Structure 1
Amino acid sequence: MSNVFLCHRKGDAESVERLARELEAAGHAIWFDEWEINVGDSIVAEINKGLTDTAYLVLCYSEHGPSDWTDREWHSTLHRQLSGHNVRLLPVRVSGGRPPAILADIRFADLVSDWEAGVRDLLKAIK
């Protein structure tokens, strides 16, 4: 079982929750903000806990573009990955959008073109 952090825009929450349920059904522990952050919780502290314990960060490309929150989450994860930590950034096209220039050479799972094939590709990358 791997710990998987789902990094996404609020506008994609419905699709990302569907993805979360499918990854969870495959046996992975999922960090999805709507499941983890409760009323009264520190948003920053909960995100930090989720990022600290994750083996994979799934960066969901959005037709809504990037956000300050998603940028902070994936930037810190990429830095940790490139610094030799045991974490991997996995891009997923969930509603459109394009990869940031620094990630343009990394293959992404495409849920827009074919949801089932994209999920299969993502699951193969999560060990």
Structure 2
Amino acid sequence: MANVFISHRGVDLDPAERLSLELRRRGHTVWLDEWEIGVGDSIVEKINNGLTDSNYLVLCYSEAGSLSSWMGREWMSALARQLDGAGITLLPVRLTGGEPPAILADIKYADLVADWPGGIRAICNTLR
């Protein structure tokens, strides 16, 4: 099963957690900030460890607007590592709406807004 890092906006925690639980129920190991970062932890260290240990980064688009600065750092890091052959794959997901960054516009995304069950199936078909 896959190690999956979920990158989302804070305002989208509920649907991001729903997505994370769906993936976890299917046997995948899921890194979600709310589950992994505790009081007193180094946020940067925890995120770095989560990204390093993941095979996939699920980038959740949001109707709340453009991607946050934390998300930008997460997906740009994953994309750079993917292009260098580091064994991580970026999976765009339309979680609550929004559009992909221009550099990712040619990558097919899972659309959980239009079809939640179908989007989950599409994500899981990609995870190995």
Cross-structure match for 2:87:
86
- Deviation, 1:63, is 1.0
Matched, 1:72 2:73: yes
The alignment's TM-score, normalised by the length of structure 1, stands at 0.99
Partner secondary structure for residue 108 of structure 2: coil
- Deviation, 1:69, is 0.2
Q: Distance in 1 between matches of 2:126 and 2:13?
A: 22
RMSD: 0.5
Cross-structure match for 1:98:
99
Q: Distance in 2 between matches of 1:103 and 1:66?
A: 13
Q: Percent identity?
A: 58
Q: Which runs of 4+ in 1 moved over 2 A?
A: none
The number of residues matched between the two structures is 127
In structure 1, list runs of 5 or more residues that go unmatched.
Answer: none
Matched, 1:46 2:35: no
In structure 2, list runs of 5 or more residues that go unmatched.
Answer: none
- Deviation, 1:52, is 0.5
Q: Distance in 1 between matches of 2:24 and 2:98?
A: 25
Cross-structure match for 2:32:
32
